[in-house]
Structures are given as C-alpha cells and as structure tokens.
Chains A and B, each alone.
Chain A
C-alpha cells in the first residue's frame, strides 16, 4: 500500500479517526458530563448558568461525532457497516437520546413555566447520562471483542453487549465525563454555584480514580489482547505511566483549586485513555471473540488508496479551519458565564 511519511494510508486514516474520536471525547465529554450533573444544582439560576456555560459550544462539540462518523464511513466502510448494524438497538437509542438532549437544551428556556423547565432538566440529565453510558458500553464491547463469524456477521444478541467488562467501561466513561464536566463548570461559574461545584468536583474525581483503577486491573487481567502490543514494545509502557501521572496531577490541581490546569489534565487523561485503546486495537478495528482470524483489520476495511489520499488532503485543509473557529468560539465566550436576555 501507498505510504506517506513512512506510514501507510490506512494507518494515517486510523490516526485521523482516532484524533477525531479523541477530539469528540475531550470536547463533548465536558458538556455531556455537565449534563449528567445537571440535577445536582437546585436553583433555577444555577441551572441556567450551568446550561449557558455549555450553550454556545455544545453543538460545535457534537460535530466532532458527526465528522468522526463520516470519517469512519469514508475510511473504513466495512467497519462502519458492521459496527452500526451490530449495535443496531444501542445506536437507535443513542440517536433518540441525542435528539432529546438537543431539544432539552434548546427548548428549556423557551417557556417560563416551572413544570416545563423541570421536564427539560430531567430530560437533559437523563439523555446526557444515557448517551455517555452507551458510548462507554459500545467502547467496552469493542475492546472486549464480540462474536463475529467469518462473514463479519454478529452472532450474539442484545444481552451479549451487557458483559461485566463493557458495563465497567460504561461506568468509567460516565465518571470521567462527570469529572471533566464538573471541572469545566467550575471554570465558568462564580459565587455559590462555584462553591458547590468545588465539592462536587472533588467527589467526581475520587469516583473517577476508583473507576480508573478498576478498569486498569480488569483490562490487565481479562483482556490479554489489549496488552499484547505492550509486551512486544516495552517502551509503550511510558503511556500507562503517563496516564497515572496525569491523573495524580489532576487530583493535585483540583485540590489546589487550579481548575484550568485541572481541565487540561482531564483532557489529557481522556486522550491517553483513548490512545491506549487505539494501540491495543491496532491494526484491528473489530475484534472477533469467536476467532482472531475473523478480526477486521484496517487493511481489510480500508477504502481505496485514491479515496484515502483525497480525504487526507481534505483533512489537512479542514482540520486547521475547524480548529481555528473552534478556538475563535471558545475565545469569544471565555470567562465566567453572565446571564442576559439572550441566554438560555
């Protein structure tokens, strides 16, 4: 296969998709997490502030999911089809939850009635939590592997997805996003809500560290194929080490109330965890628990070299653009949230 800078095009595209998913995790992670915590705030003003903290950016964050989906379709059509049709019911529920989340954010402020706002508050929290858990569940199953036959047909049923490992990953994802979201909210709020959040951040962080330890142990013990690559290339152990150091730094910064630095570290944590997952998987994307010979590798699934080359050019042009207006938007809405007549 054609190569560019020493890597073949399929690997490049694997990196692009990995980058997009990481971007999605870091960006939508905080607004999903903020949503999952929404009902912890009791006052109407607190809820509005929390909602407006993510108001101008959540839609842009969600676009990373759309782009990642498109990139998977474009780069590895086989995986796109197999993955989505395998997780048919989870994905359908995921899509419905995305709809409910979007309309909860948009519709809540449209009417002043208490029942109306309460209804959307519950819907916002429930959908945010549900989306996060489903993402984690799907990720957990991808790490764990699923029963696929030689024709890449899924031979399990809905219950297959609810194995203990996948459930653990789902909870870990929720804990990570809740912590990430709580840190983001402390950066954007002041006074009483801020005080309340400093306590909440601490608890979320402890919950995450607990999940992090459990996930690390479970992966080491039960998922041998995720650690194989590390045995061949011992220098890769720098990454899990970096993950531990990052988490420790994260805790330290939360304790000393340096929330911006803490946010940077929780973003790095999310990234490293996804990179570890990518390394464990590579060069496969779909792992068959029936027989390793039925795995789908990036080489089997990749689009043609022509297509991959064109899309890499697109990504090279598009990424700086996307990053520049993402930065522009975040810069425009920097600082603490101030409610005004245009707010949610």
Chain B
C-alpha cells in the first residue's frame, strides 16, 4: 500500500487539478460577459442581450462546479495537511480569509442577481452585478495566488518555535502579500484564465458557424472572444517571461529542472523540444545553445546554476516531468499567439468566418489553454519539490499525523468516483446547452432564417 504521503499528494493533486478546470473558465467568461453585456447596453441590440443570457447560463454551470470543488480545497488543507496548516496558518490563513470575505461573498452574492435578476433589477444594476461577479472571481484568484506565491518565495515573516511546534508568523503584511513572485504569477494566472474563457466562447461560436446555426449570434460571440484572446495571448508572452525571471532568481533548481540543466555552473541551453535522461543526468533535443542564459541574463555566455548545484535532497526528482510540462505550456502559448493573430488578420480581411478549416481548429482549440494552464501549474508545483514552503517546510513533514493511509485511500476513491460523475454530468449538460443555443427572439429568428435561406440555401 502506498504511503500516506503519496496518497495525500495524489489526492491533493487530483482534486486541485480537477478544480482548476473551472475557475479559469469562470474568470475568462466573466470578462467576456462584461464585454457582451456592455455592448448590449451601448448598442441596445437584442442580439447582445441574447448572447449574454446564453453565456450566463453556461457561466452558472461552470461557476457552480467551481464553487463545489473549491470548498473541498479549503478544507483539505486541514484534513490532510494539519502540520502544514499550523505552520502557515498565520500567513496562508489570512489570505484565505481575505478571499472569503472580499471575493466569494461578492461573487456568490451577485450571482443570484445575474441569474434570476433580469426582470427584477434595471439593466444598469444587472450590468453592475455582472461586473461584481467577474471582479469577485478575479479577487479570489488574487488571494489564492498570493498565498501560493508566498510558499514559493516567502518574505515578510519570521519562524517561531521549533520542530512540530514551528510556525511562520507575519512580520510585515504588505511584504508578505507583495512577495517577489505574487505580481508576476498573478498576472500569468489571470491571463491564462482569460485565454481559457475566451477560447471556450470561440469554440462554441465556431461550432455554430460550422453547423450554420445561430450564425449572426455566433459571429458576435466569436468577435468578443477573439478580442480578449488576441490581447491575452500576446500579454502572456510578457508575463511568462517575467515569471521565468523570478524563478531564475529565487528557485534556481526549478528553472534548472524546467530546462534539464544539470551542470553546477555552465552556460545553459534552451530547448524547443527534448527529453531528459534522469539516470545519466543528460538532456537531449532541439536546442538553442546558450538560450536560457540569454533569456535570463541577456547574454548567451553567462554560466548558470544547474541542478547539481543544489544538494540531491533539496531539488526536484521528477526532472523530465517538469521539463515536459514546461515545454508543452510554452509550445501551446506560441500556438495560441499564432492562431489568434491569424484569426484577427482574416477578420480584418472579412474572410474569417468562411474558413471552415480554421473554424474546425477553433472548435478543438478550447482544450489548448486548459492544457497549458494545467501543465503550467504542474511545472510550478512539481518543480518546487521537495518543499511545500520553499526552503522551509518539506512536503513530507507537512502531513496530518493522525490520518492513516486507509482513510486517505477511502477519500481518494470517493473523490475519484464523485469527480468522474461530476465531469460526465458537466460535459453532458454543457453539450445540451450548446445544442439548445441562445434563445433567439422571433424577430431575430426571421432575420437569421432569411439570412440562412438566402446565403446557405435554407439549411437551418
């Protein structure tokens, strides 16, 4: 039977990875909803209200699962990682409490108005609620990323007590909040979320365009999604670079694992694709010699600290895993930039929606930001092992002492089954909602019927 540590880590990884499908979608959709509803308020056109209503329904589905699976995360710190909870409570706890009071209450409070308030409040108040829900989800990410960033680059604290009684105590709140990695990591996470949400919008729109359904609505949606996506994809290049920069400064072992750089002190290459042979401590693949040195120091010849500079017990063991997840994220990031730029160019040429092959790609492209967000976090979290609080608390020391392997195995099986069911239900309901499509008013329907009859020969 696997140890408590392995089981608890697997359970945490599984529950957080599953949870993380949803919040980025909520955050990204939130921004798209603001734009859609804003356009409705500005133009007064029914089409914008209809697409807003349609996406609010999908938002509710995603948000609901995000909340339900998020509560699990909050309590899992205490159930499985009691020693960790005690160690970081003074710091992490305040961030989590801030998240609850400033973010959750905001989004959950206004979500009711968003969903059921169309006939009860004025257009302006409804729009305000949309903004509040979207802001709430962003605040939520802010506090969580701050807490996680503190674990990566702890500052503004001191250690009190020793052994099992040891704990980190806040000495300077703002130094803790604005620790060296929070701003870069927060912007990277948020923009990744904008990509996830906007690509979902474009995927569904492209699907309608391919099937020649709701064509006008689909084009309106697609344009909203594309605006968000193109800006986000380009910005992500910048925040990604900034994030790598903090890693090079504060977590050299993680960066070395990301590029499979073993030599204690040597010029570091950047790989486009590759494979790490951990046994022989060798990395091979398609590389830019000195590339990592250049990206970090602006000079192809500056030597950099490799994995062997860190004692074996203090560096990540899953080097190839970190290498692959990191490179997959980068490749996807570049693909997204190419895709969105191409789409913008074709839109400008007024040819975008006739390119069926590109629409097919966009239907599937919804998975790309999702995968990039996931593997990006795998890189960050596996790459910092064996530490849960970098340089201070080891993951293996952070467990709950009284919880047995049997108990964790039980909960792990339980969550696996429940989440599997949840995921199937989610896909099923999402599919049904997409099939149903936006509720088009009579007038609009006639217009779109005419449109389809004239242009597409009556296929509708």
Please give the residue numbers on chain A whose beta carbons come within 8 Å of chain B beta carbons, in ascending order.
52, 55-57, 59-60, 62-63, 65-67, 69-71, 73-78, 80-86, 88-89, 91-93, 95-96, 98-100, 102-103, 106-107, 110-111, 151, 153-154, 303-304, 306-307, 310-311, 314-315, 318-319, 321-322, 325-326, 328-329, 332-333, 340, 342-343
Judge whether B118 is part of the interface by a CB distance below 8 angstroms.
Answer: yes
Question: Is B401 touching A153 in the complex (CB atoms < 8 A)?
Answer: yes
Question: Within the complex, which residue of B71, B112, B173 is in contact with A329, where a contact is CB–CB below 8 Å?
Answer: B112
Task: Tell me the nearest residue of chain B to A328, going by C-beta.
Answer: B109
How distant is the Cα of A321 from the Cα of B118 in the complex, in angstroms? 23
Residue pair B160, A304 in contact (C-beta under 8 Å): yes
Q: A96-B415, A318-B102 are in contact. List 15 more A-B contacts (CB 8 A).
A: A60-B109, A63-B100, A63-B105, A67-B104, A75-B93, A76-B89, A81-B89, A81-B400, A84-B79, A85-B79, A99-B72, A103-B422, A151-B164, A310-B94, A342-B118
The interface on chain B, measured as residues whose beta carbon lies within 8 A of the other chain's beta carbons, has a size of 75
Question: Per DSSP, are chain B's interface residues mostly helix, strand or loop, or mixed?
Answer: helix
Give the distance to chain A from B204, nearest Cβ to Cβ, in Å. Answer: 17
Q: Which residues of B are found within 8 Å of A56, using beta-carbon distances? A: 112-113, 115-117
Q: Contact at A306–B169, with CB atoms within 8 Å?
A: yes
**B56 CB to nearest chain A CB (Å):** 9
Which residues of B are interface residues toward A (Cβ below 8 A)? Answer: 60-61, 64-65, 67-69, 71-72, 74-75, 77-94, 96-102, 104-106, 108-113, 115-121, 132, 160, 164, 167, 169-171, 173, 400-403, 407, 410-411, 414-415, 418, 422, 425, 429, 432-433
Q: With A329-B109, A333-B120 given, is the CB distance from A95 to B94 under 8 Å? A: no
Report Cα–Cα, A205/B84, bound state, in Å: 44
Judge whether A98 and B105 touch: CB under 8 Å. no
Known: A59-B67, A73-B85, A342-B115. A66 touches B78 (CB 8 A): no
Shortest Cβ gap from B407 to chain A (Å): 5
State the CA gap A154–B76 with chains docked (Å): 18
In angstroms, Cα B414 to Cα A154, docked, is: 23
Distance in Å: Cβ of B285 to nearest Cβ of chain A: 42
In the bound complex, do residue A77 and residue B167 qualify as a contact, i.e. CB atoms below 8 Å apart?
yes
- A81, B105: Cβ atoms under 8 Å? no
Bound CA–CA A68/B81 (angstroms):
19
Would B407 and A88 count as touching, CB distance under 8 A? yes
- The 8 residue pairs across chains A and B that have the minimum distance between CB atoms: A77-B89, A74-B93, A84-B78, A81-B82, A56-B112, A318-B101, A85-B400, A67-B100
Q: List 16 A-B contacts (CB under 8 A).
A: A60-B109, A73-B74, A73-B77, A73-B85, A73-B93, A81-B78, A81-B82, A88-B402, A92-B411, A96-B418, A102-B64, A110-B433, A303-B169, A306-B170, A314-B94, A333-B120
Chain B contacts for A102, CB-based, 8 A: 64-65, 67-68
A85 near B101 (CB under 8 angstroms)? no
A342 and B94: CB pair below 8 A?
A: no
Contact A303 B90 (CB under 8 A): yes
Contact across chains for A89 and B113 when beta carbons are under 8 A apart: no
* A103 and B113 within 8 A (CB): no
| Contacting residue for B97 out of A84, A88, A111, A314, CB 8 A | A314
Scoring B74, B85, B403 by chain A CB atoms within 10 A of each residue's CB, the highest score goes to B85
Would B72 and A59 count as touching, CB distance under 8 A? no
